Amino acid sequence: MRFARLPIPKSEYPEGKRGWPDIGNQSGFTLLEMLVAISVLSIAALALVRLDAFTLRSTADLSASTTAQIVASNKAVDLATDPAAPTIGVAQDVVSNGGQSWRVTSRIAATADPSLLRIDIAVTGNGGRANLTIIRPAG
């Protein structure tokens, strides 16, 4: 193990030698090597902290997008299973799901086949958004 070299007190100088003692071929780390290693480790730790913050932000965004997709799916099921066909046009609604309010816009349009309707559902709110398109019978 290598230790920092300290000067020998004047009272213990061997005859003819002055200054630092000879420590020979001892192995170990110098203070400079330790400082470099600590610097590299601290930079790596800072990178991990930034990655953790990014992961938390991504998880929150994914949660909002997933909830928006669930709201869009719920609206699609409501429109697809309603015995009465929706009227052609745009309908807007505010829905509460997961303790949050979501704005749902449904665009109902005729298709080339007069027996079918195209319904485009857009959900926005609380950092999440989702789009869903379904086809249902017109009558």
Domain ranges of the chain: 31-137
Q: Round the average pLDDT of the chain to a whole number and report it.
A: 85
Please tell me the predicted confidence (pLDDT) of residue 48. 85
> Is the overall model pTM greater than 0.85, yes or no?
no
pLDDT of residue 9: 63
Q: Supply the CATH classification number for the domain 31-137.
A: 3.30.1300.30
CB 123 within 8 A of CB 75: yes
**DSSP letters along the chain, please?**
------PPPGGGPPTT--SSPP--S--S--HHHHHHHHHHHHHHHHHHHHHHHHHHHHHHHHHHHHHHHHHHHHHHHHHHH-SSPPPSEEEEEEEEETTEEEEEEEEEEE-SSTTEEEEEEEEEETTEEEEEEEEEE--
What percent of the chain lies above the pLDDT cut of 90? 53
Predicted local distance difference test score (pLDDT) of residue 83: 92
Task: Flag whether pLDDT at 113 surpasses 90.
Answer: yes
User: If you average pLDDT over residues 57-72, what whole number do you get?
Assistant: 88
